[in-house]
Structure 1
């Protein structure tokens, strides 16, 4: 039998009681609870959210990196990189979003939670690959989507849309080769066709 989900405000209070000073901010918006924790408290806070009786978040269902350098068309004040996780309690039928910001923009690092939830393993590798966020304590932190020789992190907002290199299979060398990008970046404006009586309008 599924537990009845508690109201977001009650969940907010329960999480505040469990995390104490480790919670920098707890908000409710659109019936969803979001907790912000400091990088220094991140791993301990996540373990409390998993193990405490009031929370019991047994599952980590998502984890991703975020580049806040030009977030929502605004200039972001504060740390550039963050990690956002979504936790689910099946036993208590409740969810929470956890945000942590990397203190150093030049070398973004937060603790790994892959030993708390196995599902974090590949998510953290993806955030490392695409954003360059290092997860301290991860036992196999390597690229997962780009090639081993790939340079840079393609989801960073300053990474060029065309990339730095292109790859192709060279039949003479019988291997994949990397070369500088040969295409010129250009803007494509869609062609708009207007009909006098389109949709029955006159």
Structure 2
């Protein structure tokens, strides 16, 4: 007797073939898709009646630059989506890596799932990932004048600019950060026999 996970694996292999790499861990399936196949694979996941992933639950960007304590040797940016099939009661995770680290871009899936609109805007705003075909790609969480993308691993903790109210000009002004960067290392006291009786 096949489990639901095995049935899903068979259906995914039949519908997608060699276009995806599949991994199974902790009872979840993750599909890794090439950027060139991303839109077609997502459309097949939605439209194939054997799969029927009718809901996009989540979409987010990931910066892998310091993954694995800096031992990561792959592409820097990825977009990860979580899909749900209500009819079949199964889920799948889809990951696509942006082929260019300097200009991370993948195809938008807003034409497939309208819920991707704000998720893609968030990934653009926080990580600088561009979505080709998105008709309203603008910042959603940071100010329109914000410089940079704050979820990138190389973004400075204190940012580039700060704002303050200037009583002489009677308005808010932006200026370069005046905080001197420093590292706070907590003092750790270790007891040799802690927890041993």
Same fold at TM > 0.5: yes
How many angstroms apart in 2 are the aligned matches of 1:71 and 1:107? 20
Question: How much does 1:193 deviate?
Answer: 7.9
In the alignment, which of 80, 86, 89 is matched to residue 84 of structure 1? 80
How many angstroms apart in 2 are the aligned matches of 1:122 and 1:185? 33
Deviates more, 1:100-109 or 1:173-182: 173-182
Corresponding residue for residue 115 of structure 1: 111
Name structure 2 gaps, 5 residues minimum.
none
Q: In 2, are the aligned partners of 1:64 and 1:84 still within 8 Å (CA)?
A: yes
Question: How much does 1:191 deviate?
Answer: 5.4
How many angstroms apart in 2 are the aligned matches of 1:96 and 1:10? 13
Q: Is 1:64–2:63 an aligned residue pair?
A: no
Q: Is 1:36–2:54 an aligned residue pair?
A: no
Q: In 2, are the aligned partners of 1:165 and 1:179 still within 8 Å (CA)?
A: yes
Deviates more, 1:182-191 or 1:127-136: 182-191
Corresponding residue for residue 3 of structure 1: none
Corresponding residue for residue 131 of structure 2: 135
- 1:18-63 deviation line (CA, Å, top 9, x unaligned): 112321x101100000001110010110011011111111111111
Matches within 5 A, 1:90-105: 90-105=86-101
Question: How much does 1:151 deviate?
Answer: 1.1
Corresponding residue for residue 4 of structure 2: 7
Q: Secondary structure at the match of 2:123?
A: helix
Q: In 2, are the aligned partners of 1:59 and 1:89 still within 8 Å (CA)?
A: yes
Corresponding residue for residue 154 of structure 1: 150
How many angstroms apart in 1 are the aligned matches of 2:103 and 2:34? 16
Corresponding residue for residue 27 of structure 1: 23
Moved over 6 A (4+): none
How many angstroms apart in 2 are the aligned matches of 1:120 and 1:175? 37
Question: How much does 1:174 deviate?
Answer: 3.2
How many angstroms apart in 2 are the aligned matches of 1:193 and 1:45? 53
Q: Secondary structure at the match of 1:72?
A: coil
Q: Is 1:164–2:160 an aligned residue pair?
A: yes
Q: Secondary structure at the match of 2:68?
A: helix
Q: Secondary structure at the match of 1:86?
A: strand
